[in-house]
Amino acid sequence: METIVPTAAVAYLQTCKLLNKPFTVKANSTLNQKYGVASTELPPTGVYPNLGYIGIGNKGASYELAPGNFMLTRPVPHLARHAALYNMIPFIVRPANDDLSASERANYRLRVPMTTSGGENVIAYYLKPLDLAAVTPDLELRNVNNGVITSTPFSYALSDLSPTPPVISNVNLNNPDGDYLVASAKTIFTLNQAEIVNVMEACTILYGDPGYAAINEVALVTGLDKVIQGVINGVATNYTEVICAQIATFIAQNHTLTSSSTEVKIGLNIGSVDPLLIS
């Protein structure tokens, strides 16, 4: 079952937006600070970061060898106060003297110069922007019956404008069955064959083995695009970077890229999926 953990950072951002109050970037909360990328850049006054980026990691699961040589996989949960994945892996790594072209670089964010354990100077890109143009937010009614969840679109009834107090039962208080609402906004993030190869090559460069390309933790990230200057192929160059990048949601997934040669699809619900009980 997919585990979703919203963060304190997104709760604070949403509260600032709802109240139209100034948003302050909290210390020790951005990926920019962690990776030393545009860490002093702040949003303009009155401008709020938006959800629009994704990151991947490979330490979001634990493994246990069970009797019969079965390998059991269990998600390692994040806490709402966490500000990074357990181990973020880049979508692509390039030699420092052979960086991405401007058009290629437009598909990535969080550009991090680093030196590998073998002494090679490289550039790692840890985020990708999400294409959310076709995403439509909506309300969804979910029914739980014996552990099976079914979903249907939700519409308010005329009676909701003249509510009456619900009848609270004093029996079956721990019954997990029932109905609840979520604000849903669904999309699919896809890694094509070339992008899968890029992640595996990145893991080979950083860790020595493509087997490290096992996506078992995903981060949905808020931030803002800004044109900044960096040294690219030895030349000072302007490029688009994300500032104030904060993780909004942790999602437990399980995708072993070495066995996914053509395409990986990661289903995302970027709405407010906290259950709102109605029965």
pLDDT in the model for residue 173:
61
pLDDT in the model for residue 117:
94
Structure tokens at 256: 């072993």
pLDDT in the model for residue 175:
66
For residue 2, which amino acid is it?
Answer: E
pLDDT in the model for residue 241:
98
Q: The whole model's pTM is what?
A: 0.92
Q: At a CB cut-off of 8 Å and minimum separation 6, what does 5 contact?
A: 77, 78, 79, 80, 82, 249, 250, 251
Q: Which residues of the chain have pLDDT under 70?
A: 1-2, 171-175, 273, 279
pLDDT in the model for residue 73:
86
Distance between CA atoms of 113 and 254, rounded to whole angstroms? 28
Structure tokens at 172: 């079956």
pLDDT in the model for residue 16:
97
